[in-house]
Amino acid sequence: MDYRGVVLDVDGTVVRGDEAIPGALDGLAAVDAAGLDRLFVSNNPTKAPVAYEARLRRAGIDATADEVVTSGTTTTAYLADRHPGARTFCIGESGFRDQLRDAGLELVGPGDEPEVVVVAIDREFHYDDLRDANSALRSGAAFYGTDPDVIIPTADGDIPGSGAIINAVAGVAERDPEAILGKPSKVAQEFVLDKLDLPPEEVLIVGDRLDTDIAFGLDAGMGTALVRTGVTDDAALAASDYEPDFVLDGLGDIGRIVSK
């Protein structure tokens, strides 16, 4: 298959922390040599694309904010479209909260009759947040999550992600989110394909997670490549219902798929 575009997961695929994963720079060079358009697509909502640009550059990757999409990006765009200016109770970190404000959403406390509750990773998540989200949801607020990642890889090991907090809120409120808006959601698929302006069959997604990256690509009709540098090992791959088109030791091996 002659691919014209590539979607690259970030953590566990391209970088771990602020350092490029071994071989990743070679893989990105192969993507460039093949003339492919690229997007870095992360399920981490804590940083805006401009902050991701700086992070990738610290890792030696010449990226621009326009090449970055996060679950914060897709969630913010969706909420601004579906709930413009809504009173929004947010569990999330400052970088995500700033994106919501910049999109015109009104961030409010639990006593301000929230119309929307949106939940993301928050490393200062508190019992009070759980109590307040539950109150708003039981009063009829709409419920959204940024991404389903229960565990995320960092330079210091795997840590709980957005999915862990979303699941806690959902369990207490006894209701599921109306939508979780990062990978592998239809919203994220459409956002990414619109940005690349390519049909899905001409796009390859490369990532380390079966239930987000590979599921995203399979559902959208993209080519899929799993890398072994993140959270998925051979046992998980063998037990999974998701079957990637390619399995690579790392991004450095992508040249055998995309080289002309």
Instruction: Write down the catalytic residue from 11, 129, 132, 253.
Output: 11
Architecture of domain 5-43+183-258: 3-Layer(aba) Sandwich (3.40)
Give residue limits of the domains in the chain.
5-43+183-258, 72-180
- Please return the burial class of 87, using the count of CB atoms within 10 Å of its CB with bins 0-12, 13-18 and 19+: middle
pLDDT, position 260? 59
> How confident is the model at residue 138, as a pLDDT?
97
Catalytic site residue 66? no
Q: Residue 177 has what pLDDT?
A: 98
What are the pLDDT digits (tens) for 192-231? 999 999 999 999 999 999 999 999 999 999 999 999 998 8
Per-residue pLDDT, 67: 98
State the pTM of this model.
Answer: 0.93
User: Considering only 102-111, 130-139, 148-157, which range has the smallest mean pLDDT?
Assistant: 148-157
pLDDT at 231 (0 to 100): 86
Q: 23-60 pLDDT, tens per residue?
A: 999 999 999 999 999 999 999 999 999 999 999 999 99
Q: In which band, very low, low, confident or very high, does the pLDDT at 3 lie, cut at 50, 70 and 90?
A: very high
Quick check: do 5-43+183-258 and 72-180 share a fold? Answer: yes
**How is 192-239 classified by DSSP, letter by letter?**
HHHHHTS-GGGEEEEES-IIIIIHHHHHHT-EEEEETTSS--HHHHHH
Active site residue 11: yes
At the top level of CATH, which class does the domain 72-180 belong to? alpha beta
State the DSSP string of 79-132.
HHHHSTT-EEEEES-HHHHHHHHHTT-EE--GGG--SEEEE---TT--HHHHHH
Share of the chain above pLDDT 90, in %: 92
119-156 burial, b if ≥16 CB within 10 A, otherwise e?
bbbbeebeeebbebbbbbbeeebbbbbbbbbeebbeee
Q: Are 231 and 209 in contact (CB under 8 A)?
A: yes
85-119 confidence digits (pLDDT tens):
999 999 999 999 999 999 999 999 999 999 999 99
